[in-house]
Homo-oligomer: A and B are copies of this chain.
Amino acid sequence: MVSRHMHAVGAQPSAIRELFAYGQRKAAELGADQVFDFSIGNPSIPAPEQFNQRLVELILQGPSLLVHGYTSAAGDEASRDAIAADLNRRFGTDYTRDHLFLTCGSAMALTSVFKALAEDGEPNEFIVSAPFFPEYRVFVEGAGCRLVVLPPETERFQVDFAALDQAVTPHTRAVIVNSPNNPSGVVYGERTIRELAALLTRKATEIGRPIYIVSDEPYRELVFHGQSVPFIPNYYPDTLVSYSYSKSLSLPGERIGYALVPPAAAEARQVYLAIAGAARATGHVCAPSLIQRAVGLCAGLRPDLAVYQRNADLLYENLTAYGYRVAEPAGAFYLFFQAPGGLSGQEFSALARDRFHILIVPGDSFGCPGWLRLSFCVETERIEKALPLLERLIKEL
């Protein structure tokens, strides 16, 4: 008597959440220091002090009716101005508030974009390269569309262009790009972006309609050793961006992000209005107002990456030395490595869990069997303690 689809989505916990829940139970049973939980992508550095100061000032200075009041559906004007100005400064763009639609996190931006691009009564397809964040499937299918998954390119975790060439059809609405990537920790280089832009430009011309890139960028600022992340709208005009402050300002629970529709994108105004409509139809009234305003006041704040970078280096150097095959981590806070000894990802995950209470998510969840994701957004000490155990695991295989 209920929607089978929605019930299935609600009843089926993600593999990541299941592993996390196991870790919580074990920690309660054995003590937190006995469990090495590398399952969840939850920031481990606190929100910047300055952000919390702005929050307190907003609350104390009021007026309360304004601070807690409705903003327009697209978001507080001053906050959108500040975010646009920050993007323009960094990327040489000319965005205004009218190109930004603030949402309850990147998740809500993505679902609105998918719904906006899905033509009524047509089959609508979105393409993503494995490995990919598994909620993309939930969001695309929730919008009544089909997710088309390209096989992983496990040499450098860029794009299998031959497969992409085959996968594009007249039903293709967009290619989802997530760089820095969850789960691989890899960044798409300029060469990849240029090749992607060229392929999609050619295909869009052949088919006679725009094919968008949906660039999901919650990890945009989380890159190591000063590496730069190409800003995709500057390479391919038909790019729609979804962004979240969850990782960059360590605010995952506060649900604040945005959809950006650059003015140069095909049918930009129509797309923007359709995003607004999709958001409205799913119950969006505005993003949380207090947090909107604080983010606007902190648009130029950048995260302190010292801990994540130290963790990334420590893991990459040591695991590689032990003999693991590891994707070189360039951004986000994930290390992606191949299961050693010919094991499947699930077998190695179970082995690490049962042997040493080390929790690592099998790559199957991300469309990349045989690999595993280790979230290193933890205290460095936890990694130092886990390293000898990870060494023993590969030595014993």
Contact = CB atoms under 8 A, between A and B. Distances in A.
A60 to B, nearest CB: 7
Chain copies in the assembled complex = 2
A307 B6 CA distance: 43
Given A104-B283, A281-B9, A119 B46 contact: no
Interface string A255-297: 1000000000011001111111111111111111111100000
A282 B280 contact: no
Nearest to A242: B283
Given A6-B281, A116-B2, A68 B253 contact: yes
Contact of A65 (B4, B11, B46, B138): B46
Interface in A50-75: 52, 55-56, 59-60, 62-65, 67-71
Contacts of A237: none
Contact of A70 (B42, B56, B292): B42
A119 B56 contact: no
A223 interface: no
Contacts of A8: 277
Interface stretch (A30-38, A106-114, A308-316, A362-370): A106-114
A151 interface: no
Contact of A276 (B4, B10, B267): B10
A139 interface: yes
Contacts of A274: 2-3, 6-7, 10
Contact of A289 (B56, B253, B275): B253
A44 interface: yes
B5 A277 contact: yes
Most buried by B among A2, A63, A209, A252: A2
A118 interface: yes
**SS of A interface (majority):** helix
A285 B5 CA distance: 18
A144 to B, nearest CB: 8
A117 interface: yes
Interface in A126-162: 135, 138-139, 141-142
A6 B142 CA distance: 15
Given A10-B273, A119-B1, A252 B69 contact: yes
A180 interface: no
A111 B286 contact: no
A110 B285 CA distance: 13
Contact of A139 (B11, B67, B283, B289): B283
Nearest to A10: B277
Nearest to A40: B70
B59 A43 contact: no
A193 interface: no
A120 interface: yes
A230 interface: no
19 contacts: A1-B209, A1-B210, A3-B120, A4-B119, A6-B116, A6-B277, A7-B116, A9-B277, A10-B277, A11-B273, A55-B55, A68-B251, A69-B252, A103-B283, A107-B285, A139-B281, A253-B290, A255-B285, A255-B288
Given A68-B251, A111-B282, 17 more contacts: A2-B119, A2-B267, A3-B115, A11-B273, A42-B65, A46-B68, A59-B59, A68-B250, A70-B253, A104-B288, A107-B285, A111-B283, A253-B288, A254-B290, A255-B285, A288-B288, A290-B290
